[in-house]
Structure 1
Amino acid sequence: MKRWRNSTVAVLVLTLGCVGTVVAPMAPLRAEASRPIARTLSPHKLLALDDYFRGLVAERKIPGAVVLIQQHGKPVYADTFGNRDSGHPMTADSIFRLYSMSKPITSVAAMMLVEDGKLKLDDPLSNYIPAFAKAKVGVDVPGGDEHTSFGLKALRRPITIADLLKHISGITYGFYGEDPARKRYAQLDVFGRDWDNATWAERVAKLPLAEQPGTLWNYGHSTDILGRVIEVVSGQMLGRFLKDRLFDPLGMSDTSFYITDPEQRARVAEPFASDRMIGPVVGMHDPADVKLWQAGGSGLNGTIADYARFLQMLLNGGILDGRRYLAVRTVQEMTRDHIGSGSGVARDHFYFPGAASGFGYGFAVRTKLLASEPGPLGEYRWDGVGGTFFWVDPVDDMFVLVLTQAPSQRWRMEVDVRKIVYEALETK
């Protein structure tokens, strides 16, 4: 194995708490494993990832990347490519803006409170943020001469905590779509203000919902609002709750909403100057620019080793290193489809999980097999607009985690990496 790969693997092995050779298939470590492992990754075939990521760097599609594939509880592929920034090579401990990969973490935190008996999935959101008791749905009102005006309509039922987890609350984003409700989110400029979570949630509560709760999967600020619910229930700031209940116990020492430590700031991975936009008018933020808002849906930064420990905990059924974070049944509930046939939830052309997937509590969940999109039923995944993505494959007892800062390339990379990984699986 080449020295630069040894260095990457050494950092990840020490951080993840794994020992032994990491380029050969490992025996399962998980007592929770309930099915025999039918397929094992071939380290030799995974070397195709080397050529793939080197090519992206050489073509200046991405500045650099860190890649980790873990099966049976240990790394089988771990490497770094390209540069962290203009002056330094990429390292395994580089810190990335995770953006929407924050959502699964915040969703897990909420489910911990559900297990604590402090939060119920069918609770009305207004129990915790009273301003949402006055929420209305924005509707187009036809007028004369083919003109329309904007009106408000009462909710058929309240927004619930489960709606937030499933993205069916009617709360949307303002940077995609042209309907009047979304335009009002854009006008609020939530990314450009410096409100704390309490003030921010009050402002969002005054905006019209894009549709009736429980009727349409609509990607938006639901998880950010869920972060405020966590604050109300726990009596802590969201960042403090995550640190106390997840980050510190899991050993995720480089994961936070903002980066104030000079040593950590030096490890932040940067995009190309020409590839910083994550929306029509929104660029990638500076993690060192500390604000009051702690966005549970998009605000976290972290390393590959930190996020790997989070994913391994989920793959283990809610336990890592002998400490339980969630019950097995809770992980199962989070990672099953809740918006399929009979749910009453529609999908439109902004349904980002794709035709082969439903949605659980914070994760897209595979519900159909497609030759063009290899992977088993029950796989769960998500990504971040900055260029990060992961998927967890419980059938093959593995997860794949890729971190880069290249917003324009993430869709392409996930398709290509998925193909390489599943071609590397061999049946015993």
Structure 2
Amino acid sequence: MRGAMKTTKSDYDFSEMHQRMQFYIDQNILSCCATAVFKGADLVDHQTFGYMDLETRQPLREDAIYRMASNTKIVTSVALMMLQERGLFELDDPLAKFLPEFGDMQVLQPNANSAADVSPAVNLISVRHLLSHSAGLSYGFVEPESLIDQTYLSNGVNGLGEQEIDLEELCLRIAKLPLAFEPGTSWRYSFATDVCARLVEVLSGLSYDGFLRQYIFDPLSMVDTDFWVPEEKADRLITLYSPQDLFDPMKPGLHKAGDVITGSYTAKPTMLSGGGGLVSTVADYSAFLRMIVNAGEWSGVRLLKPETLQSMRSNHLADGVQVAFPMWAMPGTVFGLGFAVKNQLQPDDHAAALGEYHWGGLAGTHSWMAPEANLTGFCLTQRMPGFWHPFSSDFKALTYAAVA
């Protein structure tokens, strides 16, 4: 089976973590869960729990295909930094050098009452701003009552909406909207990584999926990673579920959910979302993670230099700026080039978590790398919403307890 991965024998005892993941299945909080733990680049534990779907209760396959959602962002960030290593741009180059539509941006005034209350941006958006989500762009759904997200929605730009446009058109639309803040002065989750994907197209001369296939997926043998699932693999795509209660993540009960973000995955989409469009498997994405923790090289292929990855997992936000969501607490966290970075330990954090860099997806995938512990964790489910769900924090805490 393509999804099978060889585990390196170790003395670590992950039984408590396994029991906790099974708890989420037994309580009907999750329909499925897969976990993988790496010490260095060695896989020391890999488990599957639950089902492909609750209706047939077919056991979760090792080669199951997951909607990776915003775990796509790490792939996009790596792709763009590969082009930076080729000398095709500098991090502080203005975005308008490559995408002229971003050359004359307006910024919402601090006390704006409408989208017309704007002032010309003092700073140009840089590539660094895009990669660190400090450009001032937004998403249309993270803070739906805010003026900036209402402006996005009223102009048909919604991160949770199925897009019938391509990356080029998306960028043209976003560039006509105001910025939430002066570039480089704050942090806001946004379409910035989709703009990065368009930048990959412009700089490389390839379609976004074509670049990924040629320079990342094929070299790493990521044969099941793409923006859609062909018919012969359709039975491997896990059914997506939503909770009975969106505001109580631990309440039992699930029901089938539609793929509202990217459609049904049965055909190649028009929108090749660099921010959330990929599907993948545990084996495929693990190869990508191993490349990252192995200083940019895996399977005899080097994608990035060690110093590039070191920069990516370093803080690139202005002094005093931290990651902030209205619905998820993420204290002590800054942002690098594609990764959130833990720069201040919290009371419940393991001592070895300082410097941990990570990101995840709304459908319940999450990967984190801890250099101090030489430890990587990867957990997946298919629950919308599933980002920052208690199962992922339990997985992390119990994995640290077993290894670090």
Does TM-score exceed 0.5, indicating one fold? yes
Confirm or deny: 8 A CA contact 1:139 1:150 kept in the other structure. Answer: no
Partner residue, 1:264:
233
Partner residue, 2:303:
325
Confirm or deny: 8 A CA contact 2:364 2:383 kept in the other structure. Answer: yes
Offset, 1:267 = 0.5
Distance 1:388 1:59, change over 3 A: same
Deviates more, 1:314-323 or 1:218-227: 314-323
Distance 1:351 1:225, change over 3 A: farther
Confirm or deny: 8 A CA contact 2:242 2:256 kept in the other structure. Answer: no
Unaligned ranges ≥5, structure 1: 1-6, 14-21, 26-41
Distance 1:306 1:154, change over 3 A: same
Partner residue, 1:181:
148
1:292 aligns with 2:277: no
Picking from 190, 197, 220, the partner of 1:220 is 190
Residue aligned with 1:416, SS: helix
Offset, 1:134 = 2.2
Picking from 28, 42, 48, the partner of 2:16 is 48
Structure with higher helix content:
1
* Counterpart amino acid of residue 415 in structure 1: S
Residue aligned with 2:48, SS: strand
Picking from 203, 212, 232, the partner of 1:242 is 212
Partner residue, 1:19:
none
* Counterpart amino acid of residue 282 in structure 2: I
1:373 aligns with 2:346: no
Residue aligned with 1:399, SS: strand
Structure 1: how far apart are the matches of 2:183 and 2:115?
Answer: 22
Confirm or deny: 8 A CA contact 1:392 1:400 kept in the other structure. Answer: yes
Alignment root-mean-square deviation, CA: 2.5
1:204 aligns with 2:174: yes
Partner residue, 2:374:
397
Residue aligned with 1:103, SS: helix
Distance 1:346 1:324, change over 3 A: closer
Deviates more, 1:307-316 or 1:394-403: 394-403
- Over the matched positions of the two proteins, sequence identity in percent amounts to 30
Structure 2: how far apart are the matches of 1:396 and 1:344?
Answer: 27
Unaligned ranges ≥5, structure 2: 244-253
Confirm or deny: 8 A CA contact 2:197 2:208 kept in the other structure. Answer: yes
Deviations along 1:83-121, one digit per CA (max 9) or x if unpaired, are 112332201110100111000110000000000011221
Residue aligned with 1:56, SS: helix
* Counterpart amino acid of residue 71 in structure 1: K
Distance 1:328 1:277, change over 3 A: farther
Offset, 1:254 = 0.7
Partner residue, 2:122:
156
Offset, 1:126 = 0.9
Structure 2: how far apart are the matches of 1:278 and 1:157?
Answer: 41
Partner residue, 2:246:
none
Structure 2: how far apart are the matches of 1:108 and 1:252?
Answer: 15
1:5-404 matches, within 5 Å, as 11-13=4-6, 22=7, 24-25=9-10, 42-44=11-13, 46-85=14-53, 86-87=55-56, 88-139=58-109, 150-177=116-143, 178-187=145-154, 188-190=156-158, 191-259=161-229, 261-272=230-241, 274=243, 282=260, 285-339=263-317, 343=319, 345=321, 348=324, 350=326, 354-374=330-350, 375-404=352-381
Deviations along 1:334-369, one digit per CA (max 9) or x if unpaired, are 011222xx6364665549672122111000111112
Deviations along 1:223-275, one digit per CA (max 9) or x if unpaired, are 0001001100001111110111100001111111112x222221011123655
* Counterpart amino acid of residue 363 in structure 2: G
Aligned length: 386
